[in-house]
Amino acid sequence: MRTTIDLDPQLHELVRRQAQREKLSMARLLGRLVEQGLRKSPNQSLPMVKSGRFQVTAPASPGARVTTEQVQKLIDEEGVL
């Protein structure tokens, strides 16, 4: 599923460089980071759903959002970048 997110320019650059180092697309890296962050959240299950030809992790609650701050926190905690 395609989606548009707004990233702080600094965060965008950090993610871009990390994706380049890991030879991944930014979309794949961000998807992985979001999934890791959601899996760490207590009391939240992540059901797998089929979206077209892809298997995706869906948030437990409809309309759940992942903020730039949450992504940055995960990056900081995981030492990914």
| β-pair type (48-51, 54-57) | antiparallel
Token pair, residue 24, equals: 């991944």
Domain ranges across the chain: 9-78
What contacts 24+ positions apart, CB below 8 Å, involve 46-55?
A: 51/1, 52/1, 54/1
The SS3 of residue 68 is helix
The tens-digit pLDDT sequence of the chain (81 residues) is 788 888 888 889 999 999 999 999 999 999 988 888 877 765 555 556 666 666 666 555 666 677 788 778 877 777 665
Q: pTM (2 decimals)?
A: 0.50
